[in-house]
A and B are shown apart, each in its own frame.
Chain A
Amino acid sequence: MPGILVVAEHAGDRFRRVSLEVLSKARELKEELGGPLAAVVTGHGVADAASQLGAYGAETVYVADHEALGLRLAAPHVDVIADLQQQHGFSAILVGATALGKDIAAALAVRLGAGLNSDATDLTVVDGRLRARKPIFGGQNLVDKEWTTDTAITLVRPNSFQASEVGGSASVEALAPTFRPHSTAVGVTGSRATEGDKVSLEEASIIVSGGRGLGAPENFAVVEELAAELGAAVGASRAAVDAGWYPHPHQVGQTGKTVSPNLYIAVGISGAIQHKVGMQTSDVIVAINKDEEAPIFSFADFGVVGDLFQIVPKLTELIRARKGA
């Protein structure tokens, strides 16, 4: 029996897109895995938003609204979701792989003694059992995993599924959270938004990344301008981050983030293995580099050999003109 629970993350004034993607996919999985399909929203000031999830297929939305859940610390969320799971015994718990989502899923797995798959780009049901596909070694291998525990917990990589509305409505049930002492021991004394981080790298459907070819930190402006025009997030290669040209949360690659956007534009990035493993699962890769022997051209879908300082600003102009037309 007893269905699927989607952990829906509400941030600022909206649900994370990955949460809606996961919920949309769960609707499909429910056909074979069996229902019900429920979502849980844990936050502060989220009660009104909860019913929106009905449009994406949630039949029941459990809501816990509490100050402690408004902080971006996972432990209090784990208490609420674990208690909910102990009541209902969902067979699968699906969580979008945001920073908070990762923390929640990991601690929840230990609390419940449930198997955790830390990254999925596809979910299927085989012989009535959930199966997750996980790219490893930067997509060099694809591993299919099943669970040996009654509850299956998986993180889901953003951009793996399409979010789609079906126009249903959900019944909303309020939960009364109770917290463990160790879960609320960490306090938050202040908070500031990072400037220029309007689009998160992992969630972005388009990423424009800059590398050593930019030559100087101020030249990241050409990358930022193109990104702004495309509604894209800005990435950076290790060389650019190590040189101090761009902050580390933007690093893509082996020692940075792994991303799978619909479009990845590599600007002045050579494409060494170190970078490749962080972005080769992107749908479409475009590369601009002055070195025609750069490894990036061996796996880019479209490559232009030339001066990025000529090409990128022109591309920004062309896209701006096209939007205006």
Chain B
Amino acid sequence: MKIAVCVKEVPDTTAEKRLDPSTFRLDRSAGDTMLNEFDKYAVEEAIRLKEAGLAEEVVLVSVGPQKAVDSLRQGGLAMGADRLVLVSDEAIAGSDYLGTARVLAKLVESVGAELVLLGAESTDARGGVMAAALGEALQRPWFTAANTLALEGGTLTGERQTDDGVDSVTVALPAIVSVTKAINEPRYPSLKGIMGSKKKPQEVRSAAEIGVDPGQVGAAGAGTRVVNVETPPPRQAGVKVKDEGDGAQKILDFLIERKIV
């Protein structure tokens, strides 16, 4: 059984992000990049399933610029995943959720994974919609927000977070599942892991190689387009007072003035 883990290169979360004003796309040229933090939980869960003898191979799959190989290797392969397949193609640049889901679906099929794991969302786009989109694109069973997962005899069980509580769910593979940060504590790559990751297979494929129709992805296949970008003035500091025993009263007065209480 193979597990594919969808991973993404994102800008460093401690840095300010910006849009390229001419293309309205994320400016990926400046600053440090890293493996999306949410993805580490999915990578960790996949590695644990493999360590428990329940999976033969953990394949990282991704869509993005060619240089993403570096952060995905340092972040994901170094943790213990077996190999990386990145689809990188000019035709894919500018894809929205629909396009990205279509590419990932082809990629998962070409890898032949029965279980696909994703992080809850990416720290740049923050959509949190890819697991559902990919599940539907593959027309396979899917669920989101797993707090726990267990695999036995081809059946996956787990607990998932909902708006109102926690549900226990079960599904026979194949399946697509996104995981929450509660599921595990991702390991830090060991020195050995980092050194070893350089020798692991890191394939970069074009859209055509995995059978993606160029008209269905990139700007051409996008269902939405950006028509305007504004940069609102940064939020200003308001009133700051020192508590002289009257701090609580002053907050209450402020809330009354703003008609909040």
Where the two chains meet, the residues of A that have a C-beta atom closer than 8 Å to any C-beta of B are: 11-12, 71-75, 78, 98-100, 102-111, 113-119, 131, 136-137, 139-149, 180, 182-183, 185-194, 197, 200, 206, 230, 247-249, 251, 254-255, 258, 262-263, 273-274, 280, 284-286, 288, 292, 297-307, 310-312, 314-315, 317-319, 322
Query: Is A106 within 8 A of B132, CB to CB?
Result: yes
A303 to B240, CA, bound (A): 4
A57 to B27, CA, bound (A): 42
Q: A315 with B229: in contact, given A74-B132, A113-B98 (CB under 8 Å)? A: no
Closest to B258 in A: A284
Query: Is A182 within 8 A of B139, CB to CB?
Result: yes
Interface hits, B127-144 → A, CB 8 Å? 127-133, 135-137, 139-144
A298 to B38, CA, bound (A): 29
Which residue of B128, B167, B175 contacts A190 across the interface (Cβ within 8 Å)?
B167
Query: Is A143 within 8 A of B133, CB to CB?
Result: no
Q: Is the C-beta of B254 less than 8 angstroms from some C-beta in chain A?
A: yes
A188 to B157, CA, bound (A): 10
A188 to B248, CA, bound (A): 47
Closest to B139 in A: A182
A181 to chain B, nearest CB (A): 9
Closest to A132 in B: B224
A100 to B180, CA, bound (A): 15
Q: Which residues of B contact A247 (CB under 8 A)?
A: 182
Closest to A313 in B: B248
A298 to chain B, nearest CB (A): 5
Query: Is A189 within 8 A of B170, CB to CB?
Result: yes
Query: Is A119 within 8 A of B127, CB to CB?
Result: yes
Query: Is A262 within 8 A of B260, CB to CB?
Result: yes
Q: Which residues of A contact B128 (CB under 8 A)?
A: 102, 118
A41 to chain B, nearest CB (A): 16
A117 to B125, CA, bound (A): 11
Which residue of A118, A147, A307 contacts B127 across the interface (Cβ within 8 Å)?
A118
Interface-central residue, B133, B227, B239, by most chain A CB under 10 Å: B133
Query: Is B181 within 8 A of A189, CB to CB?
Result: no
Closest to A9 in B: B163
Q: Is the C-beta of B150 less than 8 angstroms from some C-beta in chain A?
A: no
B184 to chain A, nearest CB (A): 12
A301 to B136, CA, bound (A): 44
Closest to A147 in B: B224
A115 to B127, CA, bound (A): 14
Given A288-B247, A299-B234, 13 extra CB contacts under 8 A: A72-B164, A75-B141, A104-B132, A107-B136, A144-B229, A147-B224, A187-B169, A189-B169, A262-B260, A302-B250, A307-B243, A318-B249, A322-B252
Where the two chains meet, the residues of B that have a C-beta atom closer than 8 Å to any C-beta of A are: 13-14, 16-19, 24, 37-38, 96-98, 101, 123-133, 135-137, 139-145, 157, 161-172, 175, 180-182, 222-232, 234-243, 245, 247-252, 254-255, 258, 260-261
A106 to B143, CA, bound (A): 12
Query: Is A306 within 8 A of B247, CB to CB?
Result: yes
Which residue of A109, A140, A262, A297 contacts B223 across the interface (Cβ within 8 Å)?
A109
Query: Is A107 within 8 A of B132, CB to CB?
Result: yes
Q: Is the interface of A mostly helix, strand, loop or mixed?
A: mixed
Which residue of A103, A106, A263 contacts B260 across the interface (Cβ within 8 Å)?
A263
Q: Which residues of A contact B242 (CB under 8 A)?
A: 292, 304-306
For this complex, 25 residue pairs linking A to B, each with C-beta atoms less than 8 Å apart, are A109-B97, A110-B136, A119-B126, A141-B231, A142-B230, A149-B223, A186-B169, A186-B175, A189-B169, A190-B167, A191-B165, A197-B165, A206-B260, A249-B161, A249-B180, A274-B13, A286-B255, A297-B237, A300-B238, A302-B251, A302-B254, A304-B251, A306-B243, A311-B248, A317-B248
Query: Is A75 within 8 A of B135, CB to CB?
Result: yes
Q: Which residues of B contact A139 (CB under 8 A)?
A: 232
Query: Is B230 within 8 A of A141, CB to CB?
Result: yes
A185 to B143, CA, bound (A): 10
A276 to B219, CA, bound (A): 31
Q: Which residues of B contact A254 (CB under 8 A)?
A: 13, 123
Which residue of A145, A188, A285 contacts B225 across the interface (Cβ within 8 Å)?
A145
B227 to chain A, nearest CB (A): 5
Query: Is B247 within 8 A of A299, CB to CB?
Result: no
Query: Is B162 within 8 A of A72, CB to CB?
Result: yes
Query: Is B164 within 8 A of A102, CB to CB?
Result: no
Closest to A117 in B: B224
A12 to B6, CA, bound (A): 34
Q: Which residues of A contact B237 (CB under 8 A)?
A: 297-300, 303
Q: Which residues of A contact B169 (CB under 8 A)?
A: 73, 186-189
Q: Which residues of B contact A106 (CB under 8 A)?
A: 97, 127, 129-133, 136
A143 to B223, CA, bound (A): 15
A146 to B227, CA, bound (A): 7
Q: Which residues of B contact A73 (CB under 8 A)?
A: 143, 167, 169
Query: Is A255 within 8 A of B37, CB to CB?
Result: yes
A114 to chain B, nearest CB (A): 6
A146 to B180, CA, bound (A): 31
Which residue of B17, B97, B172, B182 contacts A137 across the interface (Cβ within 8 Å)?
B17
Query: Is B224 within 8 A of A116, CB to CB?
Result: yes
Query: Is A107 within 8 A of B229, CB to CB?
Result: no
Q: Which residues of A contact B124 (CB under 8 A)?
A: 137
